[in-house]
Amino acid sequence: MPLFVAGLSHRNAPVELRERLAVEEDKLRELLRDVTATGTVEEALILSTCNRVEVYGVAPAPGEARALAFRHLCQHRGVSPALVEPLLYTHLEEDAIRHAFRVASSLDSMMIGEPQILGQVKEAFALAQACATIGPSLHPLFTQAFAVAKRVRNETEIARHAVSVAFAAVELAKKIFAGLARKAVLLVGAGKMGELAARHLVEQGAFPVYVVNRTWARAQEMARALSGTALPWDELETALAGVDIVITSTGAAEPVITRAAVQRVTNGRRARPLFFIDIAVPRDVEAGVDSLGGVYRYDIDDLKQVVDANIRERHREAHRAEALVEREAGKFVARLRDVEVIPTIVSLRERLEEIRLGELRKALARLADAPPETRQALEALSSAIVNKILHAPITKLRESSRAGAHRTWLELVHELFGLTRK
């Protein structure tokens, strides 16, 4: 039965429409039940993320199944099908398999290599399993998709290079320090990007964390969120003396950290490196501080250059990942086709074995006095004849299966040998 995937994504649908179609878990359960209850769809999985809404299914009439699924979805979300239908893409069988592998491997993501999509696909699979809408076609498809995604991550570097400003800051910090464990962090200001960079540093082992902000309540709130310590604004220069990494994102009109202040605190640091991550625009750290010994400063443009370079690296690695996905999709399709011809091969062997045994019994009945050696010879002879007869049709079935032309040969073999379809 044909496998299909239909949907829309960031590639062809505006974010406003994707937001309107996004479905929460409880509604997904209801939607899966509604779609499969009609009998139009044999198996179904719905993937709903901020960047895509897709229905994976098995149905005798994929076009009808697609229309049904999105009609129900639009009804659930109060969206006109006329807005959605022109944007839908549909992939069938081999193309659907390839698409599933690419999505799980983050090759079809807005940001190639991002890790979230694999978890989202696994959650959609688990939900569909809980709703009993996963069957003998979708189960092996997604099980293999997860295995392919794991190989892409392990065998390519598609996810290694930082492609956000916050991650880029961590990557640069790793280059300056031998390790980030127990490196003290000072967060100056309470911007979201600064907080995110601080969180990434903490995840890499940086500790302790101090927060300085002009608004004391906001400093305390941010410090609690980071399991850190809030410090008064007027202790900023003192705090610089004892930390290793400083993240600034204040939104001030003028630099809040001057070269003179940094020079005063570095005199007592004994050449211990001091790394500034200046995410603010206008910049918080005065130009020229990195001319001081052991002081490093990267602003938003420096970080953006790192991000751009890493995006190019990811796209280079994506070519290797695409080749891996293509190979694995080909192998999976070949296995599926082999599975399709196996019942016919089994039926053919059983049919010829039935004929062989019947004729052997007749021959042995006429040779009642034949010695055991003669009986064994006839058994071996008849088995050899059957195997030789089977060789050509079985080989042709397997070859046609791998070439994608097995259905005609299946029908021919059934017709020639009078096989009953199981």
Residue 371 has φ and ψ, to the nearest 5°, of -70, 165
Q: Looking at 215-357, which runs of residues are DSSP E strands?
A: 229-231, 245-248, 274-278, 295-299
Single-letter amino acid code for the residue at 63: G
Contact partners, residue 103, CB within 8 Å, separation at least 6: 47, 52, 54, 109, 117, 121, 145
Of 25, 38, 50, 383, the catalytic one is 50
Tokens 């010829």 sit on residue = 352
114, 18 Cβ separation under 8 angstroms: no
Residue 152, exposed/middle/buried by CB under 10 A (0-12, 13-18, 19+)? buried
Q: CA distances (Å), 54 to each of 22, 69, 71, 241, in order?
A: 10, 10, 13, 53
Q: 245: closest CA among 174, 332, 336?
A: 174
Helix, strand, or coil here: 64? Answer: helix
Q: Is 131 a catalytic residue?
A: no
CA 124 – CA 53 distance, rounded (Å): 11
118, 126 Cβ separation under 8 angstroms: no
Q: Which sequence positions are flagged as catalytic?
A: 50
